[in-house]
């Protein structure tokens, strides 16, 4: 801990940096809150081989989300690297689990997703017209490629689903996942008949463990942002609970469900089940394969 304190103090030119408390975190980091002469700060310390990509991607994600003024995120301060360790430094926000502000978060998330659409409508120079992001990010420990792409289904298949399929097939030796993918991939475009997808800035990993609330408002954190179809952000909210009926009602008051919304739900959930299979093993195998079979049958009909 002493060496991390020294690094942070040197980079931020701090005179005071006292460890305050250890913060529970995900699978990739060691998290601490400090009291300093610039206030309370949060440090995410990562020594994983992909640590630099993980935390640089999170920094840029927080930066872009904050710029929208749509929903509160921890203010990013700096990313520093030393030897094999990377440290993300942000403001520290004291929050609890999301309860009171479920509806408010749904409303704010919809505002976030509409921000770029508003810029596109007025042909603003600031509008983002492709799918992707300024840097690659990581969803958990695994890097995901964010090279810009003008076609959403092409981006989602080649830069989200296909790498997960390839990775899980190599790690598990499962041949069925590759067979099902060969049947599913050519059909995915049919799920978007009559729908035009515009790029929205997304959180990217919006499960219940990455949201909370202060006394005044909801907070989202640990993003893996990119510009994509707004429906993608809703997928993982349904998978592990934690979001109320009011959350979805307030969201869809601003962004109504489009044609094929229900059919696309499992398509977007598939990414997260595959990602969990890659991270945590065979417990997610049958769920992933089941979704693929369901989609193949659904689209065939």
205 is catalytic: yes
Non-local (6+) Cβ contacts of 138 within 8 A are 28, 50, 53, 54, 57, 58, 144, 224
Phi, psi of 153 (to 5 degrees): -65, -35
Q: What does the alpha-carbon distance between residue 110 and residue 114 come to, in Å, rounded to a whole number?
A: 6
Tokens 């799918």 sit at which residue?
131
Residue 39, class by beta-carbon neighbours within 10 Å (0-12 exposed, 13-18 middle, 19+ buried)? exposed
Q: List C-alpha distances in Å: 214 to 91, 94, 193, 264.
A: 14, 7, 41, 33
Question: Beta strand pairing status for 85-91 and 76-82?
Answer: antiparallel
The CA angle 154-160-162, to the nearest 5 degrees, is 80
Residue 278 CA from chain centroid, whole number? 16
Q: What does the alpha-carbon distance between residue 291 and residue 231 come to, in Å, rounded to a whole number?
A: 17
* Pair 234, 251: CB distance under 8 Å: yes
Q: Of the listed 205, 216, 222, 233, which one is catalytic?
A: 205
| Catalytic residue ranges | 205
């Amino acid at each position: 801990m002493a060496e991390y304190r020294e690094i942070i103090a040197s980079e931020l030119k701090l005179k005071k940096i006292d460890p305050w408390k250890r913060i529970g975190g995900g699978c990739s980091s060691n998290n601490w809150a400090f009291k300093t002469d610039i206030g309370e700060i949060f440090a995410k310390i990562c020594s994983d081989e992909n640590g630099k990509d993980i935390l640089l991607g999170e920094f840029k994600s927080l930066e872009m989300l904050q710029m929208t003024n749509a929903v509160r995120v921890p203010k990013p301060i700096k990313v520093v690297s030393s030897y094999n360790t990377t440290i993300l430094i942000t403001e520290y926000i004291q929050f609890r689990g999301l309860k009171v502000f479920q509806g408010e978060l749904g409303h704010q998330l919809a505002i976030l997703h509409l921000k770029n659409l508003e810029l596109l409508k007025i042909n603003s120079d600031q509008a983002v017209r492709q799918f992707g992001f300024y840097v690659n990010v990581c969803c958990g420990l695994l890097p995901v490629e964010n090279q810009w792409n003008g076609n959403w289904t092409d981006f989602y298949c080649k830069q989200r689903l296909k790498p997960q399929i390839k990775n899980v097939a190599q790690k598990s030796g499962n041949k069925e996942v590759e067979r099902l993918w060969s049947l599913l991939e050519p059909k995915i475009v049919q799920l978007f008949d009559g729908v035009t997808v515009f790029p929205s800035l997304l959180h990217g990993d919006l499960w219940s463990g990455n949201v909370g609330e202060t006394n005044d408002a909801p907070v989202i954190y640990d993003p893996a942002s990119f510009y994509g179809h707004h429906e993608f952000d809703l997928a993982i909210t349904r998978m592990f609970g934690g979001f109320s009926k009011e959350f979805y009602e307030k969201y869809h008051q601003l962004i109504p469900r489009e044609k094929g919304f229900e059919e696309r739900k499992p398509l977007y959930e598939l990414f997260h089940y595959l990602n969990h299979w890659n991270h945590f093993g065979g417990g997610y195998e049958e769920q992933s394969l089941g979704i693929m079979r369901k989609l193949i049958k659904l689209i065939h009909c």
